[in-house]
Amino acid sequence: MAKYLEVDNSAQAVIARINDAECTPRFRELMVGLIEHLHAYIKEVKLTQAEWEVAIDFLTRTGQTCSEERQEFILLSDTLGVSMLVDAINNRRPANATQTTVLGPFHVAGAPEREMGANISLDGVGESCLFKGRVLDTDGNPVAGARLDVWSDNADGFYDVQQPGIQPKWNNRGIFTTGADGAYHFVGIKPVSYPVPVDGPAGEMLTAMGRHPYRPAHTHLIVTAPGYQKLVTHIFVGDDPYIDSDAVFGVKESLMAPFRKVEGGETLWECPFDIVLAPEA
């Protein structure tokens, strides 16, 4: 190997600097792969000096767009399919268990515990929907004491935390716990599709790729029960126009629910969705 960095040996020249005595094996593995891919990429596309400058500026502005209320690097990861890939790698489930998807940036810990059947649409705006189903194990037995933490946007496509002072606190959020039959039901709204924020660098990237920024309508759930793997997922509105082009690649076939119009019921819609938890490893 040449002694100094040249085009042909560039990744190896950097990797050779890792001091194994002071670097953990895992950090070494992560850095070796990163350096190899980064250098291979730059050589394959023959990155120009001007393009490198654009990349430096883009990454800098992405970091500087982050604040207490906004995480632009997560949005970049989401829109490049990275968040969903990391989720898929780390959350493989049995085929008959409910599959996972991304958490998203709008979960808030500590939502109110509600009585089964309660209405979480505190502003009363939107098309009412009864969500109902059972929490089961992979053998089809009911799971008692399962905790469902649910949240969704409002009828305008915004989460309560995006509109403090406009939406009531904890609007479209609540926690429900199953009884012996594993059943759950609650009233919310049929969620609506909405765009991810496009006024930052991730939005510029979407525009330059000719992509729209919309997420198909979905209700979020985190379901936990002793002895079972934590489930972070969505229920998607299966006939949403964006169902095949989610800006963050969160859709899975098995997570689409039928939203059925109800004639003469207490809600306009109902959404039956059983949840199957995988046992802890």
- Which residues in the 13-42 window bind a second copy by CB under 8 A? 13-14, 17-24, 27-31, 33-35, 37-42
- Given the structure tokens 């632009």, which residue do they identify? 72
**Nearest one of 63, 138, 132 to 97, comparing CA atoms:** 138
273 forms part of the interface with a second copy (CB under 8 A): no
Window 207 to 236, contacts with a second copy (CB under 8 A): 208-211
Minimum distance, C-beta of residue 149 to a second copy, in the bound complex (Å): 18
Q: Is there binding between residue 10 and a second copy (CB under 8 A)?
A: yes
Nearest distance from C-beta of residue 274 to a second copy, angstroms = 20
Q: Give whichever of 2 and 262 is closer to a second copy, judged by the CB atom.
A: 2
Contact range with a second copy by CB under 8 A, out of 81-89, 106-114, 184-192, 261-269: 81-89
Tell me how many degrees the CA angle 246-248-272 measures, rounded to the nearest 5.
55
Q: Is 88 exposed, middle or buried (0-12, 13-18, 19+ CB in 10 A)?
A: middle
Decide whether 15 or 268 has the Cβ nearer to a second copy. Answer: 15
Is there binding between residue 144 and a second copy (CB under 8 A)?
no
| Cα distances (Å, whole numbers) of residue 267 to 128, 193, 239, 243, 271 | 5, 20, 19, 24, 11
Q: Amino acid identity, residue 130? A: L
The stretches of 157-234 forming alpha helices (DSSP H) are 201-208
Q: How far apart are CA 182 and CA 135, in angstroms?
A: 5
- Is 251 among the residues that bind a second copy (CB under 8 A)? yes
Stretch that binds a second copy, among 65-73, 138-146, 191-199, 267-275 (CB under 8 A): 65-73
Instruction: Check residue 68 for interaction with a second copy (CB under 8 A).
Output: no
Does residue 87 interact with a second copy by CB under 8 A? Answer: yes
- Pick the stretch among 51-59, 111-119, 189-197, 259-267 that binds a second copy (CB under 8 A): 51-59
Q: Give the long-range contacts of residues 74-79, CB within 8 A, separation 24 or more.
A: 74/105, 75/105, 75/196, 75/197, 75/200, 75/202, 76/201, 76/202, 76/205, 78/102, 78/196, 78/202, 78/247, 78/248, 78/249, 79/196, 79/202, 79/205, 79/206, 79/211, 79/247, 79/248
The reply on whether position 61 binds a second copy by CB under 8 A is: yes
Nearest to 237 by CA among 120, 174, 152, 172: 152
- Adjacent-strand bridge partners of 119: 187
**Which residue in the set 1, 25, 49, 68 belongs to the binding site for a second copy (CB under 8 A)?**
49
Beta carbons of 186 and 165 less than 8 angstroms apart: no
**Could you say which of 115, 253, 263, 264 contacts a second copy (CB under 8 A)?**
253
Piece in contact with a second copy (CB under 8 A), picked from 79-87, 133-141, 181-189, 262-270: 79-87
Stretch in the footprint of a second copy (CB under 8 A) among 143-151, 223-231, 243-251, 259-267: 243-251
Q: Which is nearer to a second copy, 107 or 132 (CB)?
A: 107
Within 168-207, which residues bind a second copy (CB under 8 A)? Answer: none
